[in-house]
Amino acid sequence: EEDAAAKIQHDLKASYKALNSSTHKKVAELKARLTKQEDSADDAEKELRSKMSSEEEAVKGLRAELAKKKEEAADTKWSLESEVGKEQKYIKDLEANFSNTKEASEKAREEFKEQLSDEKGVAHALRTKLSARARSAKEAVADLEASLEKQEQEASETKSSLEGRLGKE
């Protein structure tokens, strides 16, 4: 009986040592895999952060470009409005001169009427041209704003997507 008990005890000790050795080996393997996965996740996170930073820089650049374009459009609009104002003042001045010449001879009056008519035509053409330029400038600003909104939306979606992936990993 003692020999059988000793043999069982010996077998149990051998089984325990084998199990213990196997367990330590598996724990070491799992730790190595976990470390590798953590390193991979860290690398992925760094890469995503870098991409997000690049996207943010691109958005900043686009915003700066849009601000510059808006400023240029505002300057152009102001310049065009100034030209229109000068032309309107010129027309008013011509009209005032016309009213002051009522006492002139009929021939001078007719010549002046023709000249005024020609200048009104030129002023009308200039006013039309300046109005078209102002509309073009407004449309360009609207197009730039729409483009920026679209790019900001795409950058936001990219950022959300990257954050989603980062959260999954």
pLDDT at 98: 67
pLDDT at 101: 64
pLDDT tens-digit map of 131-152: 988 898 899 899 999 999 999 9
Residues 99 and 63 sit within 8 Å (Cβ to Cβ) = no
Residue the block writes with tokens 């023709």: 114
Average pLDDT, the chain: 86
Structural tokens at position 167: 């959260």
Across 47-56, 78-87, 118-127, least confident range: 118-127
Q: Report the distance separating Cα 131 and Cα 70, nearest Å.
A: 18
Between 102 and 24, whose confidence is greater?
24
Rounded to two decimals, the pTM is 0.34
Alpha helices in the chain (DSSP H): 2-100, 106-168
Backbone angles phi, psi at 12, to 5 degrees: -65, -45
Q: What is the rounded average pLDDT of the residues 86-107?
A: 75
Query: How far does Cα 58 stand from its chain's mean position?
Result: 7
Residues 140 and 69 sit within 8 Å (Cβ to Cβ) = yes
Tell me the pLDDT band of 38, cut-offs 50, 70 and 90. Answer: very high
Q: What is the rounded average pLDDT of the residues 99-113?
A: 68
pLDDT at 110: 78
